[in-house]
Amino acid sequence: MTTILTGKSLPRRTLIKGLGASLALPLLDAMVPVGLRGLSAEPVHRFQTFYVPNGMAMEYWSPMTSGADFALTPILEPLAAFRDQMLVLSGIRANWNQIHAGASGSFLTGIPQGGRTETEIFADVSMDQVLARKFGRITQLASLELSMDASANAGACSSNLSCVYTHTLSWRGPTQPLPMEYNPRAVFERLFGDAGSTERGAREMRLSQQRSILDSVLDKLGQLGREIGAQDQIKVEQYTEAIRDVERRIERAEAQIDIELPNFEQPEGAPADFEDHLDLMLDLQLLALQTDLTRVISFMIGKEQSPRPYPQIGVPDAHHPLSHHNDQPELVERMSRINRYHTELFARYLGKLRATPDGDGNLLDNMTILYGSGISNSTRHSGRNLPLLVMGGGAGSLRGGRHLEYGDDPGMANLLVTLMDKLGVPVDSHGASTGALQLDTLPGL
């Protein structure tokens, strides 16, 4: 029997532009002739959050009509090229509406209440970390938590509550907020180590050093376990399991050592220019996704209460004070320019995802991206009718090109339950959820 291969494949030496260099892609499914690919292979589904702070100029965000024929508003216009993979969601409320703390604190956790004082810190496992627990068994890194702002792990930032609520979206457990990394050098080191380069020899040397250190630590832990009491043994066993997790990650890295990684030097640090910094952070995220180092990323383009001005677009006002515009039309319009600037920057990133081959399509086809804010009308700190988008093809699980309006005031946690189900990690509940949110059809649409 003769098999004729007619499918086109991507050249093995395909290059991408980014991080100031031409980068060779690793071996991708798209580089294998279609006829030779596994017929039953499922596309790799990835999840990303792209969070924007300080609410939205809702008059410039919300479409006037529902369904597929909605007109793009001024803030959404930069995303016109991605309309076919865009769901605009209206009518969803925040589960915890405690000024800025609740906005980011409940965005991925869906919690109805967090801490009540500067030192009382609790929430729940966030959606990204639920996904990370599953996908992290396959990838070298379970997840990435990134921001354009340095983290604050102490002090009060909003409503006399801990700064952790305004500086992160991600929680490993009820009392374990995860810091968001803002330094691209540190992100590079987390992805590729501190060898200074992605060159294979440097990676091999680093893995060998790590393996040697781990073997020594595990040997000493084994000796210690024979000399301590039962309670201490429990603590040592917990610590040993954490070490074993590092060992498993090294094993995955060793198994992937033959993959050709882009060859470039690690960044020096965070550039002073906002757009240069952002481009570097987004290029690193793209790199992590296309090389399958992780399948889960949470990213904040700004922390809640961010004072960053945007003189490059004619808005020299500090963002957070401007967001308290008291509904004055000229200030709301100025606020809308920041919101539109964010969607313009987001559109650039979506363009890079769409231009990156993945399987039989591209990265955007195989991603679910949650874009939005935990506040709507910022001058009132409103948690009603949050500005939310779901972008991407969801590896075939999402149907875009629609504006969905929900009239029953569902909580954000219901949306998180639905997205996890589409990502193949179904849960009975999450945070304060009361059920799933219908994304595929709504009455009358």
Each of the 445 residues of the chain gets a pLDDT tens digit; together they read: 333 333 344 443 333 333 333 333 343 444 444 443 444 468 899 999 999 999 999 999 999 999 999 999 999 999 999 999 999 999 999 999 999 999 999 999 999 999 999 989 999 999 999 999 999 988 889 999 999 998 876 688 888 999 999 999 999 999 999 999 999 888 888 887 665 544 556 556 655 655 555 565 666 666 666 666 776 766 566 556 655 555 565 555 556 555 555 555 567 678 888 999 999 899 889 989 988 889 999 999 999 999 999 999 999 999 999 999 999 999 999 999 999 999 999 999 999 999 989 989 999 999 999 999 999 999 999 999 999 999 999 999 999 999 999 999 999 999 999 999 999 999 999 999 999 999 986 544 4
pLDDT at 7: 39
Cβ neighbours around 330 below 10 Å, total? 8
Cβ neighbours around 351 below 10 Å, total? 13
The whole-angstrom separation of Cα 137 and Cα 252 is: 9
The whole-angstrom separation of Cα 147 and Cα 183 is: 9
Cβ neighbours around 222 below 10 Å, total? 11
The phi-psi region of residue 343 (left if phi > 0; otherwise alpha if psi is between -120 and 50; otherwise beta) is alpha
pLDDT at 270: 80
Torsions phi, psi of 34, nearest 5? -55, -40
Using the structure block, give the residue that is written with the tokens 């040697």: 212
CA 196, chain centre distance (Å)? 25
1 burial via Cβ count (<10 Å: 0-12, 13-18, 19+): exposed
The whole-angstrom separation of Cα 62 and Cα 12 is: 44
Q: Residues 5, 34: contact at Cβ < 8 Å?
A: yes
The whole-angstrom separation of Cα 103 and Cα 275 is: 25
pLDDT at 185: 84
Nearest to 47 by CA among 437, 434, 364: 364
The whole-angstrom separation of Cα 139 and Cα 45 is: 12
- The token duo for 118 is 């500067």
The whole-angstrom separation of Cα 105 and Cα 342 is: 21
pLDDT at 199: 54
Q: Residues 32, 269: contact at Cβ < 8 Å?
A: no
The whole-angstrom separation of Cα 92 and Cα 374 is: 10
The whole-angstrom separation of Cα 340 and Cα 369 is: 18
pLDDT at 411: 98
CA 419, chain centre distance (Å)? 13
The whole-angstrom separation of Cα 212 and Cα 358 is: 36
Nearest to 358 by CA among 390, 391, 389, 393: 393
| 203 CB-near residues (< 8 Å, 6+ apart) | 192, 193, 195, 253, 257, 261
pLDDT at 317: 96
Give the length of the chain. Answer: 445
- The token duo for 28 is 């991708």
